[in-house]
Structure 1
Amino acid sequence: MTILSFVFFTGLVAAITWYLTHKDDHDSSKGYFLAGRSLTFPVIAGSLLLTNLSTEQMVGLNGLSFRDGISVMSWEVIAVLALVLMAIFFLPKFLKAGIATVPQFLENRYDAGTRTITDLIFLGAYALILLPIILYTGAKGLVGMMDVPAITGIESQATNVWLLIFLIGIIGSIYALWGGLRTVAVSDTLNGAGLLIGGFMIVYFGLQAVSPGSLSEDWQTLKAAVPENTFNSIGTQSHDTPFDTLFTGVLLLNLFYWCTNQQIIQRTLGASSLKEGQKGVLLTGGLKLLGPIYLVLPGIIAAYIFAGQGIAKDDAYGMLVAKVLPAPLTGFFAAALVGAILSSFNSALNSTCTLFSLGFYKHMINKSASDDQVVKSGKWFGAFIALAAMIGGGMLIGQDSIFGYLQKMNAMYFIPIFAVVVVGILSKRNPPIAAKFGLIAGLAIISIGYFVPQAAELITHYNVHNFHFIGGVFLFLVIGMLIIGAVAPTAEAWSLQDVGAVDLTPWKFAKPVAVLLTIVVIAIYAILADFSVLSSDATTEALNSTSPPAITALPEAE
């Protein structure tokens, strides 16, 4: 029943996606990379949510809550503030410029050299960091959820992870390389419905496993059984996201991710109008408020059910699903989870194709290329990157905390690019040399902090949290760029020109909804907050019991 329900749901999504998109324009660059600028708000919201909602969240974030409790909800709740800023500030500018990629916007603002550097950073990050992690976490989650050794006849977990990495990679490549952005967005939306339903089912059946009573009784049993500060929104220094990091690295990483990350914002760039784009982005913000229920609470339930069994935190979610879900529902949820994996993988792969085709092939290699040649170049490059990602995914076997590893590695390119975009928009006379300084210096400083043992030891010695470190780098880059702009400003002030790509009439409820979402975020933190854990005694106790997650050398794969 598990296998049958898995095959049925997976096949159903594929069939509906084909039916809805097989007549689309897959040959022109506008149709392939931007869905013909035809996306409406339900598809934008569904695709945004599921591109983000993959196994690095389902497995990784629940793994962190398995250890730290509810405080790790910051990754979901703070994201709402970033989505608000995207809808109100960044999206109108991106759609006005009519861009297809973030590097293209930076060429508009600075020069072609800035675009080339940014294209290279994005391509390297997606190929070496994002895509391999998506495949690895997806395979690891499925191995824990389904009895994969019984299906394959292979006992080695590592071998089964390798097999699933290649299976997921091949299927995801077909979606991304054959169908383009609209195929990706439609399949995202369909899988998103399944994953949300499945995620809430895990919570329901998990609470039933805690105590076979009503949900309110189950909830009270869980709250009474777990450690005192499990449901405290305020993280201490021993947690992955201490409270003070919400205002530095956590906020900055969210702002880049939701406002300037090509993989994410590409579906907003394909919006049919500013109004549809804003509605889609803000709807995503509303849905993210539900994230702690299915991305954090299951990890806490797993900590209760598997207490004292010594399981690894990144294995907790898959084991919980296997334990509490009936077999037919396990197959359904596994199919939805595969959909989430495919969504993140093929979205990142589609963005990689877009960056290469429009940033290098059309821009540098073959400036007179036809639309058909541009699209084909993206497909061939995407196939090469997909293969490299499958190999890289297998090399991650043995990482201690894959979600923490992802956020740490993401900072290397998130922070420099976001700094350059923000300064570029706010400072009209900032010169191209300042942007190049921001990109190169930011990448170099964070890399040194991560990979040079002496630098890592120095930062650790002064007890600097990783998120404060990257916040400090961001501030240094912004100040450095502004100083360069003051010393050598451009002769003319930059102005953003409307290219007439879409209707720029804003949604009349955009600002009220944005304010409402911000109030809800503050209210969630206030309701769950117990600031007493930040007192000197509590902090000292936390520091003595667990070393803070400062920057250290990256763990080697076992």
Structure 2
Amino acid sequence: MNGLILTSFLFFTGIVGLVSWIKLRKSRLNTLNSFFLADRSLSFLLVGGGLLFTNINTATIIGENELAYSHNMSVMAWGITSVLAMLLVSEFLMPLYLKMGIATTPDYLTARYGPGIGKLVSCIFLLSYIVNLLPSVLYSGAVAFNGLFHFSEIWKADYWTTIWILIWVMGTVGCLYSLLGGLKAISVSDTLLGFGIFAGGLLLPFFGLRYLGQGNMMQGLHILLHNKQEHLNSIGAATDPIPFGTLFTGMLLVNLYYWGTEQYIVQQVLASKDLKNCQKGIAVACAGKLISPLLLNVPGLIAVHIFTHLDNPAEVFPKLDSLVSPPFIAGYIAAIIFGAALTTFNAGLNSSSTLFVLNIYKPWTEKRGKPADEKHMISTAKMFEILICLLAMFIAPFIIFVKNGFYTYVQMVNGFFNVPIFTIMFIGFVTKKVPAIAAKIGLMFFIVSYALTQLVFDLHIHFLHILAILFVVTCGLMLFIGRLYPMPVPYKQQLNTMVDIKPWKNRHIYSCILLLLMILMFIVFSPLGLAK
């Protein structure tokens, strides 16, 4: 192990930890609002940083670079098309959430369909976090660290054992951070790391291109742009992981779900001090998503010209970093990777305990006539975080056996949870009389049908297209049930405004700029641009 890389890693990780401690040393996590929602006090920079870096995790960094290396730039669509979804969420969903004063997205479903649906969706969220989100973040973090520091060689241990050890170390550190700091600690560290990721996003491509050009960055850029140009194409063909047509079907739905419904993401925004800061924060995160290919995709493109073959393509990012970066910079990027793993992991833990305590445990105690005080519920939330952390650490190592690329696996498994939940949310938004039974039937129908298409019958249709087809069919089914058995009293939204809901007056100008930049990105990385 290079001692300078380790020293640099510890130095930058220590800075983030120290600044977070200074910012939070006077905070008291003695109420549910402070532990789960940072007392609804986050400024737009903390909201934007929290959104961006909770989203850009090790699974994203490792997975997208893997697909850019093994296929092409079509994988960048996951991040770039998020801009449209985020702006739609900012304009239509966040004002509604803040007007209602909710703490979790199942709170809306409880208000719209009744407590049964709210609890059911909370359980689905928790299952998703335990079997997919938390294990995938830990696994990708372990892969990255082994690639950067070569622990399996140092410890003279096999790869499988090394991944187990690193997963348990990262899970333990992340759990302690979440327990001690709550959501505000996560948001502060997210923001600091968000600035770090922009710097890292510029540094690694710079050193990669310089290495490719044998010391001349411009020569390296010339090789990147003129050799193997098929890798520069973001317009995915049918054989690519992301066919271009999926951008207008399932990917749009997945992104709308993710940015407007996914609890660990939405919770970052619900903690904003007002709607203006909420919408500004989302715009900041959009700008970050447009810059993020520098870290998420370009290293994979550079690696195409350096590594002719890798036994495990998921290691392409850490191997490139350790090869081309000076030790001090390699340690800095390792600190970013470590932070990326922990911030998403911590946010997932915090959101899981939020869902469990507010949507399952608290209603249960109230039903028994023995409502627990806030101190007891915070203690319960922490114990629940420890439990799901242990479960995630046991599951994570087995992701090594998945096929067709780690990141494709993560997105495919997400399909069991994301669009089904978004479908019943969507029908709840646009109708007033569709009853709870329609939501239950629609949810089960969607999940079972998707499972059959992915695990039993091979329809030779991309899973994103299948998600879009099932969305339309399930919406039709719910509307049909609503026509037969409408709610006797139409749903009426109850307002519980806790923050100022005056919107950001300049949001439409910045939205247009962001959307134009999004379109320009696809033109640049296409046969009309660089992929001639």
Output the TM-score relative to the length of structure 2. 0.95
* CA drift at 1:387: 0.6
* CA drift at 1:451: 2.5
Match status 1:300 vs 2:297: no
- Does the aligned pair in 2 maintain the 1:173–1:386 contact within 8 Å? yes
- Does the aligned pair in 2 maintain the 1:28–1:371 contact within 8 Å? yes
Please state whether the residue corresponding to 2:415 is helix, strand or coil: helix
Match status 1:199 vs 2:201: yes
Matching residue within 374, 378, 398 for 1:375: 378
For 1:156-191, what per-residue CA distance to the aligned partner results, in whole angstroms no more than 9, with x for missing partners? Answer: 121111111011000100111221111111111112
* CA drift at 1:296: 0.8
For 1:335-382, what per-residue CA distance to the aligned partner results, in whole angstroms no more than 9, with x for missing partners? Answer: 121011000100001000100110111011455111111111110011
- Does the aligned pair in 1 maintain the 2:201–2:292 contact within 8 Å? no
The residue number in structure 1 matching 2:71 is 68
Match status 1:318 vs 2:318: yes
In structure 2, runs of 5+ residues without a counterpart are none
Match status 1:504 vs 2:501: yes
Where do 1:68-467 residues align within 5 Å? 68-149=71-152, 151=154, 153-212=155-214, 215-226=217-228, 228-307=229-308, 309-366=309-366, 368-400=371-403, 401-452=405-456, 455=457, 457=458, 459=459, 463-467=460-464
Match status 1:15 vs 2:12: no
* CA drift at 1:44: 0.7
- Does the aligned pair in 2 maintain the 1:118–1:439 contact within 8 Å? no
State the distance in 2 between where 1:361 and 1:32 align: 16
State the distance in 2 between where 1:448 and 1:316 align: 33
Classify 1:67/1:525 alpha carbon distance in 2 versus 1 (closer, same or farther; 3 Å): same
- Does the aligned pair in 2 maintain the 1:83–1:258 contact within 8 Å? yes
For 1:434-453, what per-residue CA distance to the aligned partner results, in whole angstroms no more than 9, with x for missing partners? Answer: 1112222112211222223x
Report the residue type matching 1:443 in the other structure: I
Report the residue type matching 1:170 in the other structure: T
State the distance in 1 between where 2:366 and 2:149 align: 47
State the distance in 2 between where 1:474 and 1:502 align: 34
- Does the aligned pair in 1 maintain the 2:100–2:496 contact within 8 Å? yes
For 1:62-86, what per-residue CA distance to the aligned partner results, in whole angstroms no more than 9, with x for missing partners? Answer: 0000012122110111111111111
- Does the aligned pair in 1 maintain the 2:106–2:122 contact within 8 Å? yes
- Does the aligned pair in 2 maintain the 1:25–1:36 contact within 8 Å? no
Supply the RMSD in Å over aligned alpha carbons: 1.6
- Bigger shift: 282-291 or 485-494? 485-494
Matching residue within 496, 517, 520 for 1:523: 520
* CA drift at 1:229: 2.4
For 1:280-301, what per-residue CA distance to the aligned partner results, in whole angstroms no more than 9, with x for missing partners? Answer: 0111011101122221111011
Report the residue type matching 1:520 in the other structure: L
Report the residue type matching 1:147 in the other structure: H
* CA drift at 1:498: 2.2
- Does the aligned pair in 1 maintain the 2:232–2:301 contact within 8 Å? no
For 1:507-552, what per-residue CA distance to the aligned partner results, in whole angstroms no more than 9, with x for missing partners? Answer: 00112222222222222223433389xxxxxxxxxxxxxxxxxxxx
* CA drift at 1:423: 0.9
For 1:391-449, what per-residue CA distance to the aligned partner results, in whole angstroms no more than 9, with x for missing partners? Answer: 11112223331111100000111011000111101112221111112222112211222
* CA drift at 1:32: 0.6
For 1:94-131, what per-residue CA distance to the aligned partner results, in whole angstroms no more than 9, with x for missing partners? Answer: 11111111111110111000101101100111011111
- Bigger shift: 140-149 or 102-111? 140-149
- Does the aligned pair in 2 maintain the 1:176–1:350 contact within 8 Å? yes
State the distance in 1 between where 2:366 and 2:11 align: 44
- Bigger shift: 412-421 or 204-213? 204-213
* CA drift at 1:57: 0.9
| Identical-pair percentage | 35
- Does the aligned pair in 2 maintain the 1:135–1:169 contact within 8 Å? yes
The residue number in structure 1 matching 2:470 is 473
For 1:198-246, what per-residue CA distance to the aligned partner results, in whole angstroms no more than 9, with x for missing partners? Answer: 23211111111111465444222212121x4222221111110011111
State the distance in 1 between where 2:334 and 2:528 align: 39
Matching residue within 32, 41, 61 for 1:29: 32
State the distance in 2 between where 1:404 and 1:342 align: 21
Please state whether the residue corresponding to 1:505 is helix, strand or coil: coil
- Bigger shift: 260-269 or 515-524? 515-524
Matching residue within 481, 491, 494 for 1:494: 491
- Does the aligned pair in 2 maintain the 1:192–1:340 contact within 8 Å? no
* CA drift at 1:150: 5.0
For 1:459-513, what per-residue CA distance to the aligned partner results, in whole angstroms no more than 9, with x for missing partners? Answer: 1xxx311111111111111111111222222223323232121100000011222
State the distance in 1 between where 2:153 and 2:328 align: 17
- Does the aligned pair in 2 maintain the 1:260–1:418 contact within 8 Å? yes
State the distance in 1 between where 2:357 and 2:475 align: 30
Report the residue type matching 1:87 in the other structure: S
The residue number in structure 2 matching 1:546 is none
* CA drift at 1:310: 4.1
Please state whether the residue corresponding to 2:295 is helix, strand or coil: helix
